[in-house]
Amino acid sequence: MQIGIVGLGKMGGNISIRLTRHGHDVVAYDRDSAVTAKVYEQAEAGRATPATGLKDMVGKLSGRKVIWLMLPAGEVTEQAVQELGTLMGPGDIVIDGGNSFYKDDIRRAAELVKKGIDYIDVGTSGGVWGLERGYCMMYGGTKAATDYIDPILSALAPGIGDIARTPGRDGKDGFDPRAEQGYLHCGPAGSGHFVKMVHNGIEYGIMQAFAEGFDVMKSKNSTDLPEEQRFDLNMADIAEVWRRGSVVSSWLLDLSASALAGNPDLSNYKGDVADSGEGRWTIEAAIEEAVPVPVITASLFTRFRSRTGNNFAEKMLSAMRFGFGGHIEGTNN
């Protein structure tokens, strides 16, 4: 299948390369021509074609045109969607694989459908590891349009791998078998990014719990405590032992263990923890629905506070964000 990919950064470039490895043809474009050239060189021979802009990309796509945007949420994505709306025609498909606000997806889909253009929002999780591991994807759009791009989504998904199957799913109606492969049609336009938004809100809370717990353990050697109650605990070893059979074992713990093994004091991080929007949007949705989310709210506010002064917990957060997404804010390099 042929597809255009716009935005070849940490995830867009790897998405392009992974697709060519699975037999798909990619027309690739990034505003930095050097980045486009790098992806072209790393793609499977004969499977990638560089483009110089959106108009050039549309011209190089044949048949039913499919273009995947992997751009920062906000104005840059909005401009790209609007421009594609003037360049593409009935039956074509625009995919937003970034972290757009789901209400923007609903509006864009309604605007594009007037021109016969389908819009699909794909919440994409996998960070810088997706090239090899694959991407967990939650997507929204019409069934006809999402079924058409299923070969693309199937190629990007991680597959069932070595994860144990969930008891009780086999043979029952109402379960989508694609969920076991790591991708899921959530509903109409906007639903994919909504589910990914809540996913990231949950991520905030889990990361915060790890960060606070390690901070408590690291501070157990404080001179403010009675001497017999002081423990000089090894954070790297604790993270490692928890990876082995503990109920809190997870990829985020794996990343924490790796960061601590490399630098137990995490002195290469400042701990100025950014938030990319999804945590805020999750809380806004919770307010609209009158659903209490105290953990996610507290974790977001902690990120705000970290930018005015931070401690070991915030360095833990920075280390995890760098580990799964390559986010470099707050690093001392």
Q: How far apart are CA 198 and CA 206, in angstroms?
A: 12
Tell which phi-psi region holds residue 231, choosing left (phi > 0), alpha (psi between -120 and 50) or beta: beta
Q: Is 65 a catalytic residue?
A: no
Q: From the candidates 143, 172, 203, 288, which is the catalytic residue?
A: 203
Q: How far apart are CA 40 and CA 16, in angstroms?
A: 9
CB of 275 closer than 8 Å to CB of 203: no
Q: How far apart are CA 202 and CA 138, in angstroms?
A: 15
The DSSP-derived string for 3-38 is: EEEE--STTHHHHHHHHHHTT-EEEEE-SSHHHHHH
Q: From the candidates 38, 83, 114, 196, which is the catalytic residue?
A: 196
State in Å, rounded, how far the first CA of the chain is from the last one. Answer: 41
Among 99, 185, 103, which Cα is nearest to 138's? 185
Q: How far apart are CA 25 and CA 43, in angstroms?
A: 10
Classify burial at 9, counting beta carbons within 10 Å of its beta carbon; exposed 0-12, middle 13-18, buried 19 or more: middle
Among 6, 42, 47, which Cα is nearest to 26's? 47
H-helix segments, 114-190: 130-133, 143-148, 150-156
**Residue-wise over 199-216: b if at least 16 C-beta within 10 A, else e?**
ebbbbbbbbbebbbebbe
Q: Is 203 a catalytic residue?
A: yes
Q: Which residues are identified as catalytic?
A: 196, 203
